[in-house]
Structure 1
């Protein structure tokens, strides 16, 4: 693979912003992300600096991983949020156990579906970090109409938990929860 997979650094907030804005212009962004391009583009530099600092290398509550090519271009990203038992998640439900939650999954079109394996490498890094900090379950949500993403997540070992939540926008659509458990936890396929 021609990319280095690594955690972001605090001072890379401008690249965090650039990649997020690119993601929000993707044709399936309305299915994959909870914010619009217009809302994200209007955010201040201070917002992006705080966002990068909160997910940078060495942070325990979340970690953003990027695939960086030899020219320093970021080909994609994924972020792991640590959800603590007893806290409320984004739906308002109480989290039953400490777990990871993958969000912000995006790979630039020119890096998708190739032998390069950018998405798989990003997921490997996210799971390795999750298992390394003691998590034994990681989940994500995928829109029921985002079949390409769902197919990748299943190929990566994520399985349906059986839980669904209403997709944003009150259109009667659903987000499906997929999860994976650490191999030594005895559940991963």
Structure 2
């Protein structure tokens, strides 16, 4: 039995903000963090508990954002992914205009000892499944740093394709973040 088959994939609850904070800080210490996240460890560690409480509360509501975790037998969170809903006409995290209602995957992290176990696949199944359940979401997107080949390889395997859109990397405009998208199969089949 692989590790992933023993994990429960579920949304976080509002009272779990300390565990969400702990996992986020661990993610920001990962060697790949500078190219995987827009936030630094120092920035996150400086946030007051009220920040973490509000984030967990919003995610638990599940209307505009949803954070999923993989929870193992000993209640260890082995990984996480979050989904943000972006409405047409709003600005995205990079200052660009959102043209259609879409979901944006962020905060992808799996503890090193659980990588290769299938946890990431199960987290993405939950995240993308939730995104498709939100009315009028036309696509799911994410951004990947040009030097993060491991992450891009997984996203491609899952079905994401480069859209051709790029944005300069925050803090290092000589590097770029590449947008990858997955179109809603229900909307594509409705058009056909």
TM-score above 0.5, yes or no? yes
Identify the residue that residue 22 of structure 1 maps to in structure 2: 26
Give the SS at the match of 2:98: coil
- Aligned partners of 1:97 and 1:71: how far apart in 2? 41
Identify the residue that residue 69 of structure 1 maps to in structure 2: 72
- Aligned partners of 1:109 and 1:129: how far apart in 2? 25
- Aligned partners of 1:152 and 1:172: how far apart in 2? 24
- Aligned partners of 1:93 and 1:40: how far apart in 2? 24
Cα drift, residue 90 of structure 1: 1.4
User: CA offsets, 1:70-110, max 9 Å, x none?
Assistant: 11110000000000000011121110000000000000011
Q: In proportion to residue count, which structure has more helix?
A: 2
User: CA offsets, 1:141-183, max 9 Å, x none?
Assistant: 0000000000000001100011000011134000000000122
Give the SS at the match of 2:43: helix
- Aligned partners of 1:170 and 1:148: how far apart in 2? 20
- Aligned partners of 1:2 and 1:170: how far apart in 2? 40
- Aligned partners of 1:78 and 1:59: how far apart in 2? 13
Matched, 1:133 2:134: yes
- Aligned partners of 1:136 and 1:130: how far apart in 2? 9
Report how many aligned residue pairs link the two structures. 184
Counting only pairs closer than 5 Å after superposition, residues 17-166 of structure 1 correspond to structure 2 as 17-56=21-60, 58-114=61-117, 117-134=118-135, 135-166=137-168
Q: Any conservation in 1 of the 2:100–2:138 contact (CA below 8 Å)?
A: no
Give the SS at the match of 2:172: coil
Question: TM-score if structure 2 supplies the norm length?
Answer: 0.93
- Aligned partners of 1:71 and 1:172: how far apart in 2? 43
Structure 1's consecutive aligned runs of 4 or more residues displaced over 6 angstroms after TM superposition are none
Question: TM-score if structure 1 supplies the norm length?
Answer: 0.94
